[in-house]
Amino acid sequence: MQADQVVFPDGPACPGWVRVSGEAIVDAGTGPVPDDAGAAQIRHLGEVTLAPGFVDMHVHGGGGAAFTEGTEAARVARAAHLAHGTTTMVASLVSDTIEQLEHQVAELAGLAETGELAGIHLEGPWLSEVRCGAHDPGLLRDPLLADVNRLLDAGRGHVRMVTLAPERAGALEAIRTLCDRGVLAAVGHTDATDSQTRAALDAGARVATHLFNTMPSLHHREPGPIPQLLADPHVTVELIADGVHVRPSVLRMAVCAARGRFALITDAMAAAGHPDGSYRLGPLDVDVVDGVARIRDTGAIAGSTLTLDQAVRFAVTQAQIPLEVAVRAASSTPARALGRADIGRIARGTRADLVVLDEKLSVQAVLHGGRWVE
């Protein structure tokens, strides 16, 4: 297939073509299709942008369903985001009891084993009570290694990322254990100082969970975690581009500071792709009004109702981020963080996951594993 704009792994979006066979991209290039690549058989899609399938490394649900609710609900959430171009996703869980999380992790591991999920993300329960956001503070605790290993064991190798507050007792040892077991350690929901954040990064933490949100604001004498997370060349910086979590000017600032390392995420809860109303986020009641989700009892923002195509569109149209930069932040950057070279890029040998975007950057069609999504 040909398109007027194709987002390749490097350079600006430009005219190009892609050839797919079965589940894989077998060839791709810029400009006209050469005769030896089968020009006569490649269809021109017109004045559209052809992007790699989006990769969401932090999402709690969608389509009215949450990943905490079991296998069938997880499939509903996955389908809702797939329709918006997300061809790979990591299922995020919120803080709960160790017993309940163990059950949820074990169930979602089955979907990771079939390839329906790219892994599981534990956002808690090892978070800061003073930066709990949409987590029940009564469920938060210090990370005991026995609990950490118990949940990783329940995931049968599919727990891909764990967010924790590095200032909690035992957190640095937990980070080292996560790294030893091949799990991404993420800093988030934290009241950490500059030095505590540096210690977490030195221990192996490699992700900043939704930067700016549920952490101290930047202060010139008490900088908190933000400068360390933005400056470290090994850290992938998550950002929620919906205009609610961060303003466009702040998004631009972070993109400049973490060039090539920022990942657009949704942090979406069940209401993504669904109407306003009452929902649940783990054990907490959530009200969604005008597309903004808040915990009923506290008014805290409860994730988002975002989809990744909306995040890309916001980044481009509201924050004036170049199209190819925004697309890579929703595809190749999170794929790289997850250690997945087979997704998130339009390149020979990668999985045939493609998103067709119109001139307004709305999704026209989605190709997943070589098949068009209906």
Contact indicator for 43, 52 with CB cutoff of 8 Å: no
- Residue 261 token pair: 């390392």
> Does residue 60 have a known ligand-binding role?
no
Helix axes 248-257, 308-317, angle to 10 degrees: 90
What gap in Å lies between CA 51 and CA 69, rounded to an integer? 31
Distance (Å, rounded) from C-alpha 361 to C-alpha 346? 18
* Residue 114: DSSP 8-state: T
Look up residue 216 and give its DSSP letter.
Answer: P
The question of whether 136 is a catalytic residue gets the answer no
Partners of residue 49 on adjacent β-strands: 5, 357
- Residue 226 · residue 215 · CB < 8 Å: yes
Please state the separation of Cα 22 from the chain's center in Å.
Answer: 27
CB 166 within 8 A of CB 196: yes
346 near 295, Cβ under 8 Å?
no
Find out whether 189 is annotated in a ligand binding site.
yes
- Is 373 strand, coil or helix? coil
Q: Which of 27, 56, 242, 267 is catalytic?
A: 267
Residue with tokens 């329960």: 125
For residue 213, give the DSSP letter: T
Phi/psi of residue 301, nearest 5 degrees = -60, 130
Where do the H-state alpha helices sit in the chain? 71-82, 98-113, 145-154, 171-180, 194-203, 226-231, 248-257, 308-317, 323-329, 332-337
Decide if 323 contacts 22 (C-beta within 8 A).
no
103 in a known ligand binding site? no
Which residues are catalytic, by number? 267
Please state the residue numbers annotated as binding site.
Answer: 123, 189, 210
Please state the residue numbers annotated as binding site for Zn(2+).
Answer: 123, 189, 210
